[in-house]
Amino acid sequence: MQKTTIRIDGMACSMCEAHVCEAICKAVSVKKVRASHKKGEAEILTEGVVDEAALRRAIEATGYRALSVTSQPYVKKGLFGW
């Protein structure tokens, strides 16, 4: 599994988080996705490597700006995962 973190500019509330999560789910096949307007990022868990260009297009189509995308192998932590 891969964990991808996207730094996002422009999210201001929980509704923004929902828009970003929905756009990501439509753009790539995800296991889990969560966004935080307070941290200014979204985290995605996928089976394989994510198409960075597709993520950027999906996020920017919603009116937000993808600042950076980083991926790394995901290692489950603790009893409940992440």
Domain at 7, CATH number: 3.30.70.100
Q: Is the model's pLDDT at 82 over the cut of 80?
A: no
Which pTM does this prediction carry? 0.85
Residue range of the domain that includes 19: 2-73
Q: What pLDDT shows up at residue 11?
A: 96
**Residue 50 CA from chain centroid, whole number:** 10
On average, the pLDDT of the chain sits at 92
Question: C-alpha distances in angstroms, 28 versus 2, 33, 61?
Answer: 13, 11, 14
Cβ atoms within 10 Å of 81's Cβ, excluding its own: 10
Question: H or E stretch including 21?
Answer: helix 14-27
Residue 2 pLDDT class (50, 70, 90 cuts): very high
pLDDT given at position 80: 57
> What is the predicted pLDDT for the residue at 76?
78
pLDDT at residue number 56:
94
**Has residue 63 been placed in a domain?**
yes
Structure tokens at 63: 């009116």
